[in-house]
Structure formats: C-alpha cells, structure tokens
Structure 1
Amino acid sequence: MKHERIVGADPAGRSAALTARRNLKMAESAHAYVRGSTVRFYDWLEQAGRTSLPEGPGIWICGDCHVGNLGPIGGPDGALAVQIRDLDQTVIGNPAHDLLRLGLSLAMAARGSDLPGVTTARMLESMVAGYEVCFEPSDPDARDLVRPPDTVKRLLRDAARRSWKHLADERIEGVDPVIPLGRRFWPLRDEEREAMEDLVASEELRALVATLRSQDGDEAVALVDSAFWRKGCSSLGNLRFAVLVSVRSPGEKRLRYSLLDVKEAITAAAPRYADAAMPRDNAVRVVEGACHLSPNLGQRMLATRLLGKGVFVRELLPQDLKLEVERLDQEEASEMASYLAMVVGRAHSRQMSATERKAWLSELQRNRSRSLDAPSWLWRAVVDLVASHEAAYLEHCRRYALQPTLA
C-alpha cells in the first residue's frame, strides 16, 4: 500500500501504475481475464472463417454483457431491479453479440468452478430458454417469466436493506465527509480539481442530484471532496473520479451527502450496425444506451464534458450491487444462466416491435441439433471462444503475473 500511495501521489506515474494494476487484475482468474478483454472478444469475431452469427434487429445492446455487468440497480423512484450495470460499450448493433458474450462469461465461470463440461452445455440451453421467453407473444415485459435463483434473491434482499451508511462504508471507508487518499483514491491535479469544481457548480449536475431527491429539485449542491478513482478493469487508464457532494434541502439545516462516479467515455469496441444513427459524442451514446437498456440507471446519468473529454456522471445508490459469481454448483449454474439471460432478453425485447420479436425468436430457434437445445452457432462460438481465451489467459499470466504485486 505504501508503494502505491507514492505512485498515486505523483500524477505523472498514474498511467504506468494503472496499466500494471489492470494486467495483474486480469491475471487473477480466467473469468477476470474475460471481463477485461472486450477488445479481444470482438477481434475474434472479426477473424475470417469463424462461426457466422445471426443478425438480429438493430437495437441498443450492452456490448460487454458478462456476468459482472449485471446486478441490482436502484431507480430514482425507489424501484429496485436487476439490470445491466455497465454500458461503456453500448451501441446499436446485433443482439447476438450480447447473447454470445454472456454465454462465454458463464462458460468461463463454470470452468472456474470445476464443473464438468456437460454443465456448460446445460447452461447454454438454460440461457437460451430464459432469453427466448422474453420474445414470446404473450407478455415480453412480465416480471415473473423466470424466477431468480437463491443467490440473486439474497442479493436483492441485501440491496433493499442498504442505506447511505452501507454505501459510504463500502466506497469511502466511513461516513465522514472525506474521500480517503490511498490505495483506491489518488490526489487530483490542479486542473482536475478546478474542472471538478466547475462541474459541481453547473446547473445540469445540480439538477441531476436534486431531482433524485424531490419533485421540486430545489436542493443546493456543493462539492465536499473529490479524488482520482482507481476502479474497474477494462476502464483502468482512463479518467475516473469519485466526487462527494453535499445536498441541502430548502429550510433544512442538516446536510445529506451523495457520491458521484465520473467516468470517461471512450470509443466502443463493440461493432455498431453501419446504418445505425447514434450520437457522435461517446458520453451521450452511453447515456442514451443506458436509458434504453437499463432505465433505472439511465435516468440517473448525465453526459457532459470535462477537461476536453466526454464523461458521464451517475450518482451511486446504496442499492447498486454487482453480481459476484465465484463458485457455482451444477443446479445453480443452470438457474443463473436462465435468469441472467432473461434480464438481457427483457432489455432487448422492450426495444423491438412485435414483428421484430417474432422474427428474432424464429431466427434463434433455427438450426437446433437433436442433442443440444441451443443454436448450433452459439455452441460452436462459445467452444471456440473458451479455447481462445484460456490460451490467451495463460499467456497473459506468463507475461504479467510474475510482476511485483501492488496492494
């Protein structure tokens, strides 16, 4: 920790420290490598001669739909739902990409849990079944299509009980109105601090924070503290800031606090459809995609400019939790695959017309083998991707995991 405090205190050393940390984090497990290798995933898809994928309707897709990017999300109205949590790669593109990326993530999780290979086949069958039910003509938005597994039920119960104290303890190590510099939080450059002050003083940010608390939106918002945030995996190396602001309602003396996540929006690696009309500004793209895919999250986000770069801002709520899948048993693996695919299916289906849903369902149900109730293209692609990513992961470990470990 002492070593990294010194590196973080010198802004000139950020880039090297972040790159080293990212490489080490990706070496922690094969599943972690998949989470941090979005670009490699799409490079594989571009290689000639590989399995061709069906082309679904042009809708907003996540673009990086792995297990860790789904979880409970609180909405502005207090609603709580499992939705997609990370939309950095969102584009208007082929929904098959989300299905395949989720399948790869689940397959790697099964491998990490030492489950037999047949479990992966069953997981893909369950995943497709959970996804397809969202495109049936009865009611694609029904909330009881697939029951959540016990792991998700417990996570939802925990999320519903969480308060600001839980969020503060988890994110900034206590309820004191300060962001502690150290392993995760690094000091800002002078120009970054000035830019953060301007951002918090802007009407657009005040309105975002205030309207999440009252219909009038008359709260006064002020900057309390801010720091560079070493967070995530694929995003390490880009601008990322934690911003603590105070919120005071008219006529009230008591201050409340809000923690904001300010993140640089980068060019998506996920391929877009050539004829898709999307915002040119990456931050606007991320927010618009979030509004379509994860309404609870999209309504709490703001696209703006900071230090000449597009960034998006979201207020972190205590109810926002990541779904961590460390170990799975065989029964839980199939239940989890079905449920998470249903979450993605809902996000996709609500953007389609009835005609598009019917056509996409028909396409998904083509080319089923007698021995596997999942599309043959999906099975072949996942098998090839698992082999490709495991080989790349071992090579990554040889190159980076022997480096001195940072705290």
Structure 2
Amino acid sequence: MRWDIFCKVIDNHGDAGVCWRLARGLAAGGETVRLWIDDPSALAWMAPGGCKGVEIVTWNRRDAAQRAAAGPPPDVLIEAFGCDPEPELIARFAEPVRPGGARRVWINLEYLSAEPYVERLHGLPSPVFKGPGTSLTKHFFYPGFTPATGGLLREGDLLERRQRFDRAAWLAQQGIAWHGERLVCLFCYEPLALDALLAQFESAGEPTHLLVTAGRAARALPPGPARRGALSITWLPHLPQTDFDHLLWACDLNFVRGEDSLVRALWAGSPFVWQIYAQDDDAHHTKLGAFLDWLEAPPSLRRFHHLWNGMAEGELPALDDAALASWGAACAAARACLLAQDDLLTRLLRFVAQKS
C-alpha cells in the first residue's frame, strides 16, 4: 500500500525519530512510504543514507502539496501527533474510491502514555466535520504498554541484534576509551538534579564514564574537564538511530528523555531513568506516575524519577550496585512483558486491514 506520514518537528527531534522508525519499519515490510516533514535537517544525522522505499518530502516547500496532489492519493494517511496535514492532500485523500477498491484509512497517531485513558480511546473513530476532509473518519491509534493499546515500535530482529552486540568493539569504533568502568548514557533536557548526579559520580568509590549525547544534554553539561574525581566524561556527536540504540546497549545505566528514547531504553534492558517532557499544567506528573506504576518501579527508582523530573526535593538515592540491580530487575521484567505482545507495526497493519 501507499502510506503518507505527516510529521512536524516541534523542538527536540523526538517526533521525527518516531516517524522515521515507523516509516522505515513499513518500508522493510514492502510498503511504499512518503514521510512529510517540515524540518528534515535532523534526518541527515539520524538516518544518513535514507531508506529504500521511503521518500522524504519537505512539507513546507511551496510546491510540495500541489505536486503530491497531482499523483494518486495514499491508501493510508498517518497524522502524527495531531499535526494537520495540508488541505490539498486531504482533499485528494477524500476523493471517491474506485468501485470495489479498498477504503482509505486515516490514522491519528497519538503520544505514548501508560495512563488508563489510552486503552479507552485507542481505536475509536473521530468523524471530521469541517474542511476538505468533511465526512471522513479518523481513528485514534495510541501507542502503549498493554495488549489493549497500539503497542510499541520494535523491529523483528531487534532482540537478535541485541544479543549479538559486542560492547567493547562498538566503543572502540566510536573512539571511546573504556577500561571496564561503569558506563552511563546522558540524554536529557536540563534537569535541576544534574549537578547532584555529577557530584555523586565524582565522589563514588568506583569509576564512572559518562557519555554525553549531543544537543540539549551537551548544553546542560558543556565540555570541560574530562576527569573529575572518579568521573570521566566523553561528549558524543549526533548519532544515527542505529548507533543511538548501540549506545543504550553499551551502557550500564541510561538517562533518557521524551518518547522514542524511552522505548529504546526498554528494549535495551538496562536500568534507566526517564526525564519526561514537561507540560505547563503539570500533566506530565500524572503521566510519569502511571508509567512508574506500570513498571512496578522499586521505591528508590520512583524516588530518583521524582527528583530527576523536579517533582520532589532532597538527595538523590545512591546509585550503588544494590539499587541498580533492583532497577535492572524491574526493567527486565517490563521488557519480558512487552516482548510477549505484538509490536506497534503488527497491530497497525492489522488495524488498517480491518478498516479498509
């Protein structure tokens, strides 16, 4: 089938990351995909070389919508995160289907959450009452952590690749000197508790090597002394999605942020701390709480999350072997639960087949 995925990059490339993984997964299964993205610049490092079967359309080019409207409409239109596709494309999509042809399907891909409403709203129809899409119906598709949701993106060979991964070889390829010390990935916004975390690493009884990702994490921890007590630091360049996965696989503890990296941290199977995207009305507090409940996070991991996300005050729990072991056990159990479920792409294809 022909798929159009519409994506607007808000600020931190997470939307682009999710949409690219989805587009790549569809293309790997033989689908034809156009990814409409208003700012494709991040794909230069996120997905160098592109992907066979995926066409990148710069959404805000003056002639893009007109040129696309001149061709056949997609069989499936995915509106990622409520981004309002171009009216010309909606009008083309709304044209009558040839007699005997499959119905076109309009999917509203929503944000990931573990909150109870996700199961209630997943798959529900949303009739369109105005604009060129009047009389059409969108369907909500909610990623989630239970069988009653849309699931999580996961490649078919992900676990096999994870098992074959050679940490030492990958680190050497990246030019990262590693001598067996604990490795920690830092992919964050600007957490107020960052200085406390660094102080804990610096004074710890065992060495820690912190791998700082490019972008906001590097701005939160700008380059400076590479050695600070028991802490050594490496600042990384922007990594392609595949190597970002490898980074999470290589580390003993992962600090991640947003949506795409949370999912990838779950698949990595190592202990992790999630910095959730903050919302003005503090709705992210409830969202984080629902996720920690689903994870069955031990008390120290829950406490660390609250402090890391600015939802509490006090000292960070110690990142000793006992704490990381209990965190790792919770993460491993959560991953096993997710692996027993169908992935998002499998559920999406099944849903589209039912609606078309």
Q: TM-score, normalised by structure 1?
A: 0.27
More helix by share: 1
Higher relative contact order (CA 8 A, sep 6+): 1
